[in-house]
Amino acid sequence: MEFRRKDLLGIAELEPGEILHILDTAASLKEISTRAIKKVPTLRGKTVVTMFYEPSTRTRMSFEIAAKRLSADTLNLTVAASSAVKGETLEDTAHNLEAMEPDILIIRHPASGAPHFLAKRLRCGVINAGDGIHEHPTQALLDLLTIREAKGRLSGLKVAIVGDILHSRVARSNIHALTKLGSRVTVAGPATLIPPYLETLGVEVTYSLEEAVRGADVIMMLRIQLERMGQMFFSTLREYSTYFGLGLRHLKLAKEDVIVMHPGPMNRGVEISPEVADGVHSVILQQVANGVAVRMALLYLMVGGEKE
């Protein structure tokens, strides 16, 4: 199986073989980041453009580091200092950037579907770095790589995804990925933060953190996305934390070798206690490291090698 797509827009449209091919490529490229000279010439002469219409630390930095480690030139559109603030549309901005002949454009945008909108209109490839509450495919891929490293497999696992499911593009991408690869996903959160259609995606739904983590191989905690909430979905953060904050006592209900994940940024003391976030079961910083490897793999496959 090869990866022959112009764009990476979501996990929903990927075949399991394509996902595994990206992970295998990432695993083979990971070693480059451990070298004294962390650079190979693979993408010399290629240009990678990032457009982040929402804040980002991990995704934006790791795309840039990934591109630089492969010797590509990188350009970041600083949206707040761009002509977007003068009213230029997303489509016009993208066409103008494309006129400068980048090889790939990476976009994060608050509107679900914005990367798909551009992918239909641009000749260059488009990677979705998170669109609204829809998908965050590169996050799911780095999560899969982290799970596979810890567990040695991606099938037959019980994965609990806990928190603000309603607003989480990370949850949606991971649900698609994990169910395609044969793992069982249980989601948990307050009823107000679990969309009614979720069971149609092939997951189990519970409103109890304890039930979700019982027997889990993997616990993935999600951030409460207050910035996407026009109304309150629970009474207070303290109440939320009481019922859905992961503490050391919850880990006793899970498998002995459970791993704890979080895509970041974390609200320490709200959805996850510092003791868990920094504890022996946490693989949160491994996720970040794997973000570089997965993004190197995607740039290599889409810009360098196997594109049609």
In the shown chain, the binding pattern of residues 37 to 56 toward ligand CP, with x for contact by CB under 6 A and - for none, equals: -------------------x
The reply to whether 59 belongs to the active site is: yes
Answer yes or no whether residue 102 interacts with ligand CP by CB under 6 A.
no
Of 59, 138, 146, 186, which residue is the catalytic one? 59
In the structure encoding, which two tokens stand for residue 243, read together?
Answer: 């019922």
10 Å CB burial of residue 86 (0-12, 13-18, 19+) is exposed
Separation of alpha carbons 209 and 279, rounded Å: 19
Query: Which among 110, 154, 153 has a CA at the least distance from the CA of 132?
Result: 110
List 16, 113, 195, 264, residue binding ligand CP (CB under 6 A): 264
The reply to whether 136 belongs to the active site is: yes
Pairing of strands 204-206, 184-188: parallel
Separation of alpha carbons 52 and 109, rounded Å: 6
In the shown chain, the binding pattern of residues 174 to 213 toward ligand CP, with x for contact by CB under 6 A and - for none, equals: ----------------------------------------
Answer yes or no whether residue 139 interacts with ligand CP by CB under 6 A.
yes
Query: Which among 290, 239, 282, 277 has a CA at the least distance from the CA of 258?
Result: 282
Minimal distance in Å, beta carbon 223 to ligand CP? 9
Neighbours of 119 (CB within 10 A): 21
> Which distant-in-sequence residues (6+ apart) come within 8 Å of 242 by Cβ?
none
69 vs 262, which CB is nearer to ligand CP?
A: 262
Minimal distance in Å, beta carbon 111 to ligand CP? 16
The reply to whether 78 belongs to the active site is: no
51 vs 205, which CB is nearer to ligand CP?
A: 51
Residues that bind ligand CP (CB under 6 A): 56-60, 130, 139, 263-265
Give the residue numbers marked as catalytic. Answer: 58-59, 86, 108, 136
